[in-house]
Structure 1
Amino acid sequence: MEDFITVAIFNYPHEITILKHLLTDSGIVYFFENETMSSIVPMYSQAFGGIKLKVHPNDLETVTEILDQFNRNNHLKIV
């Protein structure tokens, strides 16, 4: 996992829930750095540097496409 690179950074755990399903369905190996600490103490997320999506460089292109599509088609809003 030391070869994994940061592709995106999120502030809150709820922002990554759907993204986890999209990545898993695509067969991408990933992990979110700082996810547990941000779940325990959400207000410290920025102090930890946010929740970082880490993927292998070989999956970078696929993950970038998934993120772009997710951002374009994300009609879910938190009220």
Structure 2
Amino acid sequence: MEHFVTAAVFTYPHEIAILKHLLQDAGIPFYFQNETMAAFAPLYANALGGIRLLVHPNDLPTVKDILDSFKYNNHLKIV
């Protein structure tokens, strides 16, 4: 995990719920830094820089593609 890079930053835990499954299905090793802090103290997680999606640099292009397709093809609306 020490060689992982930040692929994206999120504010709330619900923003990463489905993304976790997409990354697991693609077989990409990942880690969400500050995920636990955001679950029980959202304002502290924000102060720490948000929830960071960390991936291996070799997987970064694939992860960016997943993020782009998730962002623009997502019909889920969280209200």
Identity over the aligned pairs, expressed in percent? Answer: 65
Q: How many residues align?
A: 79
Moved over 3 A (4+): none
Q: Which runs of 5+ in 2 are unaligned?
A: none
In the TM superposition, what is the alpha-carbon distance from 1:40 to its structure 2 partner? 1.2
Give the distance between the partners of 1:14 and 1:44, measured in 2 at CA.
Answer: 16
Give the distance between the partners of 1:65 and 1:38, measured in 2 at CA.
Answer: 25
Q: Which amino acid aligns with 2:45?
A: S
Q: Structure 1-normalised TM-score?
A: 0.95
**For each residue in 1:10-65, what CA deviation from the matched residue of structure 2 results, as whole angstroms up to 9, or x when unmatched?**
00000000000000000000000000011011232211110000000010111010
Structure 2 residue 48 is the aligned partner of structure 1 residue 48: yes
User: RMSD in angstroms over aligned alpha carbons?
Assistant: 0.8
Q: Which runs of 5+ in 1 are unaligned?
A: none
Give the distance between the partners of 2:36 and 2:48, measured in 1 at CA.
Answer: 11
